[in-house]
Structures are given as C-alpha cells and as structure tokens.
Amino acid sequence: MADRNPRLALEFCGMPFATPLVLLSGCVGFGEEYTRVAGFSNRDAGAICLKGTTDQRRLGNPPHRVYETPAGMLNAIGLQNPGVDTVVDEILPTLDFEETRFIANVSGSTLEEYIEVTKRFDDSPIDAIEINISCPNVKEGGVAFGNDPAMSARVVEACRTATRKPLITKLSPNQTDIAGNARLCIEAGSDGLAVINTLMGMAIDIEARRPWIGNNQGGLSGPAIKPIALLKVHQVYQVSKPHGVPIIGQGGITTPEDAIEFLLAGASTVGVGTALFYDPLILPKINQGILDYLDRHGLHQVAQITGALRLNAPERASECSG
C-alpha cells in the first residue's frame, strides 16, 4: 500500500497500528527477512513480531527443522537466535520505527530468564513485548509454561514487574482451558493476547521409520489449524472483552476472508505467518480485501468488525457429526 488507508488504522494496547495485519514471530526474522523481495514493504503491516529471543545465543534444533504437511507446515526451529544483547545493541538500531511497530518476542527456559530478557528489552526502543510461554520450564521437568495456567500467570506477573511497555501473551492451544488461562494472564497484567500459537504435531518418513523433524515433533501452522484457531479466539474473546484486552488472532490466515473471520470472532488484529512463505506479497491483498468488506457492509473503520459475530442460537458444542 503506497498510501495507507486511514480506515484500516486502529489502536492496539495503546499503540497506533496503520493496518490490522501483524507479521508473526519466527516468520520474518528480525524484520528484514522479506525486505529484499521486490514489492514487499513493512508499511503494509501494523506491527512486526521479531524472532523469539533468549538471554544467551542459541543454535536451535538439529535438522530437519521444517516439513510441509497437507494444508500446513511443521517447524521445530528451537529458538535459534543471537541472544538479547545482540538483538538490542546491533539489530534494533537498524530497524525503521517510522515504517511500523516492532514487537519483541521473549522466550526462556526459567522464570529468571524471562525477567532478564524482558528487562533488557524494556531499556530499548522496542514498541511492545510478546511473551512466548510455550517454552519448557527446565526447573519444572520440562512442562511448557503455557500449558499450565498458574505457570503462565507467574511468567506474565514476573515480566509485568520488569517492563513498562505493553505486554502481549502468546497463548498455547495445547491446553485444556485456554479461556481460563487467558483470564489468569489478564489478571497478572497482560495488556494483550496472541491467540493461538502452533499445535504440536508429527510427520513420519515411512521408509526410514523416523520422524521427518529432527526434534521428532514440531509446531503445526497454516490453513490446517484455522478452524481450531478461530474457536480459540472466540472463546478467549468472551474473557478478554470485559477487560478491554485486545487479541491478535492467528492461525492459517491466507486470504482477506480468513482475516475477516478472525476479526468477527473477536480479534482486533490478525497475524500472518505461514502464508508469507508462498506469497511474500500477500499483505496488500489482505488489506484491500478488508477495505472491500468495509465498503460492502457500509462500515467506516476496521475496528467495527471486531467481535461482530452473530451467533446461532442456542450455542452449544458438539463432538458428533450425526
């Protein structure tokens, strides 16, 4: 979008976003991944979530790290990153904060690591901090922080004391009650929520009789998870709406229609990730599709779509198809 359309502008956690699109962590490196693609512009995104960052440099998991599956992609990168000092001292100064908002993604294996990395980003020009609570807590036997509501809240509370910047908690779908987890994270001080992170999955090489992914399992993203992600956004919105806590809806968004579905379900912004791998120039298409939807429905601003879902009555869950 050479000229940003003001109808796409919104406020998220007190930050002005030029569009509702957010480039997801792990898909665009540290903001430069697609800038060498002709026609790509960070200005088409309201915000960019930088790659997951830990206290010390990490090499990541052994290969294979990525494997394409039907309607999706498995990845197990293992949080490869140069460490927070390098990100703050060498990478952030190269980013153009006039183009878009930049959100750091904080990861850690212990509560102390989350605190230290958050403190480091607090003393930087980064616009906001996203907490990746899907990391395993090595002190708790490798249980992922995000799959235990009490542990999730502890991480949020600890990070809240370490920064004045907006905090966004990235929720795991690999848990029993995502809405309950969201409520505890909000009470602990989360300003926003990202719904959802990847689902755990596996793919097997039947000739070698081994998993294709070097880490045996990985996070599934892409269109395959979209129906699950939509439901999780809807469920979390019931908890976040009374508190005025906005949601980044994400999981399989590849078209304007996908993005609008997430907005209707309760998301204020929508994350684009896997789709960038096969169409790096998809952002202007989604933005234009949202504008066309506003025109068709006589709406003035993108924020009017958020939570405008009209539920069928009665709403009830069903596990059977017949």
pLDDT at 315: 60
pLDDT at 75: 95
Quick one: CA dihedral 251, 4, 168, 307, positive or negative?
negative
Residue 316 lies in a domain: no
Name beta bridge partners: 15: 12
CATH number at residue 60: 3.20.20.70
3-class secondary structure for the chain? CCCCCHHHCEEECCEEECCCEEECCCCCCCCCCCCCCCCCCHHHCCEEEEEEECCCCECCCCCCCEEEECCEEEECCCCCECCHHHHHHHHHHHCCCCCCEEEEEECCCCHHHHHHHHHHHHCCCCCEEEEECCCEEHHHCCEEHHHCHHHHHHHHHHHHHHCCCCEEEEECCCCCCHHHHHHHHHHCCCCEEEECCCEEECCEECCCCEECCCCCCEEEECHHHHHHHHHHHHHHHHHHHHHCCCEEEECCCCCHHHHHHHHHHCCCEEEECCHHHHCCCHHHHHHHHHHHHHHHCCCCCHHHCCCCCCCCCCCCCCCCCC
Amino acid occupying residue 141: G
pLDDT at 144: 84
Residue 318 lies in a domain: no
Residue pair 81/52 in contact by the 8 Å Cβ criterion: yes
Q: Is 135 a catalytic residue?
A: yes
Q: Which residues form the domain of 101?
A: 6-304
Residue pair 41/34 in contact by the 8 Å Cβ criterion: no
Residue 172 lies in a domain: yes
Which one of 13, 27, 49, 135 is the catalytic residue? 135
Residue 29 lies in a domain: yes
Residue 321 lies in a domain: no
pLDDT at 1: 42
What is d(CA 134, CA 79) in angstroms, rounded to the nearest whole number?
11
Counted domains in the chain? 1
Residue 145 lies in a domain: yes
Residue pair 106/81 in contact by the 8 Å Cβ criterion: no
Largest Cα separation within the chain, whole Å, is: 59
Residue 39 lies in a domain: yes
pLDDT at 2: 44
Pairing of strands 143-144, 136-137: antiparallel
pLDDT at 317: 58
What is d(CA 46, CA 106) in angstroms, rounded to the nearest whole number?
20
Residue 311 lies in a domain: no
Query: Which segments in the chain show pLDDT lower than 70?
Result: 1-3, 141-142, 315-322
Q: Which of 190, 34, 54 is nearest to 99 (CA)?
A: 34
Six-digit token pair at 211? Answer: 């998993």
